[in-house]
Every structure is written in C-alpha cells, then in structure tokens.
C-alpha cells in the first residue's frame, strides 16, 4: 500500500509543480511585456503581430482600448473580429494571445474569449 501512496504523492507533486510553472510563465510574460497605452499603439501591435502569426490571413480586426482590467476577443461578422483590452491586460503578450485565437480559427463556432 505504501508504494501506491508514493506514486500518488509523486503524481500530485508533479502536477502542482507543472501548473505552478505554467502560472509563473504567464505572470512573467504579462509583467515583462510592453504595456499598450494608446489605441494607435494597439492597432500597430495588432498589425505587427498578426503578420508574425499568419501573414496570409485577410480578416478585419477592430480594436478597442478599455480602462478596465479585461481582455476580450470575439467574432463579430464574416472574417471580422474585435479585440478589446484594458488595464493590466493592455500589453503585447495579451494581444498576441487574443490574435492567436482569432487567426487559428477558434471562433468558427462563435466562441467568445473573456479574461477578467
């Protein structure tokens, strides 16, 4: 029985370390990522980053800079999407994250991604 408990304990410790590592990299990337302070800067970052992810994608992406700590992307029409970010979510890392959802086809089932 003690061998089973050692296996279970090892599994739980591994899972905790794995998820702490994921959380840590997310926090570090958010803190280290350059902040976005204006709508024009947001639009420029979107254009630069979308070319890195998929330069052939011709969809239209509207962007809005909010005051609240939010990050949202949504499909609003045929090949038309919206990204809304603000507060602590207004950084280049979050823009890349939301762009990936758009350009990878995550919204083809009309999903909305919200981080609060």
State pLDDT tens for residues 7-39.
888 888 888 888 778 777 766 766 678 899 999
Give the percent of the chain with pLDDT over 70. Answer: 87
- Residue 90 CA to residue 97 CA, distance in Å, equals 12
For the chain, the structural domain boundaries read: 1-32, 35-115
Q: Which of 67, 74, 62 is nearest to 36 (CA)?
A: 67
116 vs 28: CA distance, rounded Å: 18
Q: What dotted CATH number matches 35-115? A: 3.30.2010
Which one has a higher pLDDT value, 5 or 39?
A: 39
Structure tokens at 32: 């280290």
SS3 content of the chain, % helix, strand, coil (to 5): 55, 25, 20
């Amino acid at each position: 029985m003690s061998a089973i408990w050692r296996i279970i304990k090892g599994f739980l410790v591994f899972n905790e370390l794995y998820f702490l590592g994921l959380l840590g990299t997310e926090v570090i990337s958010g803190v280290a990522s350059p902040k976005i302070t204006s709508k024009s800067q947001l639009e420029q970052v979107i254009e630069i980053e979308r070319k890195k992810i998929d330069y052939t994608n011709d969809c239209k992406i509207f962007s809005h800079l909010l005051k609240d700590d939010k990050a949202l992307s949504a499909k609003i029409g045929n090949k038309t999407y919206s990204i809304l970010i603000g507060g602590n979510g207004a950084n280049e890392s979050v823009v890349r994250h939301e762009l990936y959802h758009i350009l990878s086809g995550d919204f083809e089932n009309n999903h909305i991604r919200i981080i609060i």
